[in-house]
Structure formats: C-alpha cells, structure tokens
Amino acid sequence: MDVRQTGDEVLVVTGGVDGGVNLWSLDTAPPQSLPLPPPPDIPRRITLLPGLRPLVTTESGNLVLYSNHSWSIVFSDPKIASYCLLEVSPSRLLIALASINGHIIILRSTDLGVALDKQVAEGRIFSLHWLSEDILLSCHDGGFLSVWKIKNSEVDLDELGVVYMPACKERWTTAAVLFDGAVVYGDRAGNIHFSHILSRQSNYLDAVKTVTRAHSQQGVCSLSVVRGQIWSTGRDGTVKQFSVNSHCGLTLVSTCHLPVDWAAQLLSIPSALLCFHESSVVLWSLKERRKLLSLLCGGGHRSWSCLVDDNQFVFAYL
C-alpha cells in the first residue's frame, strides 16, 4: 500500500494477490441528509426534476413541488386521485402520469404545463415506461402492452404498435427498454422478454422470446442498453449481461452477484449501481467491487428517485 497526492486529490494505492492495482480516493465528501417538511397532502410517489426539485404525487390528485423552502400545488386533476403512476423522461424534461381509468397525462418540467392528456384505454394502466425521449410503453390488463410516440409538438400520442406479454403470475412490466426496433421488458416474476413491436392483427406470442426466471422469482428492477448489450438488475441482488439476436432473443453472457438484497438501477456515473440492502440504500461500484455509500432510507419498497447532477449523487425518498 502507498499514499500519493495528485494535485488536490489524495489517493491510496493498493495491490492484491490477483496482480491488480487499485486507486482509492480519500477526498470523497461526507453525505448530507436534508429532511424536507411534510407535503400538504398524503404523498404517494416522488421524482426529482432538473435543478434537484422534488415533485410528489398525492392521494387527492395533486402534484406538489418543493421550491424556495416550501411545497406548492403545481397541478391538480381528479383523474389521478387515489391512483397515479409517475415517470419522467430520460432528460427529465417531460413528466408522464397514468391513471386507473386509462389516461396518460404529459407535463413539461420547465413550466409544469400540460403537453397532452389522452385516454388510451378503458381500464387501469398497470405500469408506464419511457423507452426514449418521445416513446412510451404502457401496460394494460391481460399483459397487453402499447407503444406510443409523442407527435405534433407534444399534443397527441400515436400508437406505434403493440406487444402481448406471455402469461405469468403477476402480468405487468417492471422495466422496459428499446433495442433496435424491439422491446425488451421484465416482469414481477423475474422473466425477461424480447419482442418486436407488432400491429394489432399480428400473431403476438410467436414473436416473444423469453429468458425464464432471469432474476429468480423476485422481479426485474431495471434494463439498460450498454455497449450493444442488455444489462438487467433484479431483486435477487444480481446484475446480468445479455447479447441480443433479433431471431433468437437474449443469450446470457455473464452474471455478477452482489452482497445486497436488490440491485435496483445502473447510474450514469461510470460503473455505479444503485442498490438496496435491508433498510439502506447502497451505491455500489462495479469496477472497484466495493460499497461507495450506504444510507438508511427504510428500504426499496418506498417511493424513491435518484439523480446524478454536476458530480453529485442525490437520492430522495418518501
């Protein structure tokens, strides 16, 4: 072991029996916890908008924003009372809400104005995923998935096609990603499916390729495209890499077992992974194979959101 100072940074250099050399920074700032006052209504879901602004959905159908040291109601609609899904686009510039009666509402995060409001189904939307900045996937009763594209300057949704999810115990999606014109999606039973986007008249099931119990029976947490491969994380504490073939679907390349309960989400920080272990949130380095941060948060069952902004990792939870 050796200690070196490079500029303003202090590094510890270690070598192991495997012949590897590791650099460890001693200049990491300690984490800060900033409790916020309770929102003016029963909170249900939380997300972080650009500028590290917490946005919360409430039981009575309000969206409340924390800014200038106080909460304020920025949007209200009885359609999203009692039940409301909340998802932000990859850039966090668009906010998608989904209701129990099949409505999708999209707002702009810049001014929190309504970009569109459309009923896309008669019943409950079970899950909602952004596949890109202008493409959404909604999951409906019976495992029916619709792929939507925002068109005409954010005033309408155009259905690009559908995917029919194979039967499983809890038939709704937990993660989804777009890959070369196809959709890769996970479910609550730990399966990962690969399907091309089809018309409503197509033979749905013939087009689906499934990796059964990729994440045991605990469920798939996230899916990402990394260097032409699909990376998945799950509630079994593993990260898996798959190669993709349009005819054969997914083929497992590698599995990484982590000392955590949930591997929740890959982050934009290189090789960083958001995890949960017991009642703590854990920031894990895949490259260094070590824990970077651990904070009590009550566990991953709570609504949470994280954001990497200007070399800061920010985690918010209810």
Segment 101-134, tens digit of pLDDT: 999 999 999 999 999 999 999 999 999 999 999 9
Quick one: CA dihedral 260, 27, 308, 57, positive or negative? positive
For residues 184 and 230, the answer to whether their CB atoms sit within 8 Å is: yes
What distance in Å separates the CA atoms of residue 264 and residue 237, rounded to the nearest whole number? 8
| 153: region left, alpha or beta (phi > 0 left; psi from -120 to 50 alpha) | left
Would you state the pLDDT for residue 1?
Answer: 45
Pick the residue with more confidence: 111 or 203?
Answer: 111
Nearest CA to 229 out of 262, 257, 254, 193 is that of 254
3-state secondary structure the chain: CEEEEECCEEEEEEECCCCCEEEEECCCCCCCCCCCCCCCCCEEEEEEECCCEEEEEECCCEEEEEECCEEEEEEECHHHCCCCEEEECCCCCEEEEECCCCEEEEEECCCCCEEEEEECCCCCCCEEEECCCCEEEEEEHHHEEEEEEEECCCCEEEEEEEEECCCCCCCCEEEEEEECCEEEEEECCCCEEEEECECCCCCCHHHCEEECCEEEECCEEEEEEECCEEEEEECCCEEEEEEEECCCEEEEEEEEECCCCEEEEECCCCCEEEEEECCEEEEEECCCCEEEEEEECCCCCCCEEEEEECCEEEEEEC
Whether residue 94 is predicted with pLDDT greater than 50 in this model: the reply is yes
Would you state the pLDDT for residue 34?
Answer: 74
Pick the residue with more confidence: 193 or 246?
Answer: 193
Pick the residue with more confidence: 31 or 224?
Answer: 224
149 assigned to some structural domain: no
What distance in Å separates the CA atoms of residue 66 and residue 52, rounded to the nearest whole number? 10
Neighbour order of strands in the sheet with 21-25? 2-6, 9-15, 21-25
| pLDDT band with cut points at 50, 70 and 90 for residue 35 | confident
pLDDT, tens digit, 9 for 90 and up, residues 135-185: 999 999 999 999 999 987 667 899 999 998 988 878 899 999 999 989 999
pTM of the model: 0.89
For residues 157 and 136, the answer to whether their CB atoms sit within 8 Å is: yes
What distance in Å separates the CA atoms of residue 300 and residue 309, rounded to the nearest whole number? 22
Domain region containing 265: 258-301+312-318
Alpha carbon distances (Å) from 119 to 25, 87, 104, 124: 51, 17, 6, 11
- Number of domains present in the structure of the chain: 2
2 assigned to some structural domain: yes
Pick the residue with more confidence: 169 or 303?
Answer: 303
Mean pLDDT, residues 44-62 taken together: 95
Mean pLDDT, residues 294-310 taken together: 90
269 assigned to some structural domain: yes
18 assigned to some structural domain: yes
**In the block, which residue shows the tokens 């087009």?**
207
pLDDT, tens digit, 9 for 90 and up, residues 1-10: 444 555 555 4
pLDDT, tens digit, 9 for 90 and up, residues 75-88: 999 999 999 999 99
For residues 182 and 205, the answer to whether their CB atoms sit within 8 Å is: no
Pick the residue with more confidence: 29 or 15?
Answer: 29
Would you state the pLDDT for residue 20?
Answer: 53
Residue 6: is it exposed, middle or buried by C-beta count within 10 angstroms (0-12/13-18/19+)?
exposed
Q: Which pair of structure tokens corresponds to residue 211?
A: 């990796």
pLDDT over 90, % of the chain: 68
Mean pLDDT, residues 40-57 taken together: 94
Whether residue 60 is predicted with pLDDT greater than 70 in this model: the reply is yes
273 assigned to some structural domain: yes
Whether residue 200 is predicted with pLDDT greater than 50 in this model: the reply is yes
For residues 211 and 223, the answer to whether their CB atoms sit within 8 Å is: no
What mean pLDDT, rounded, does the chain reach? 88
Q: Which pair of structure tokens corresponds to residue 285?
A: 């380095």
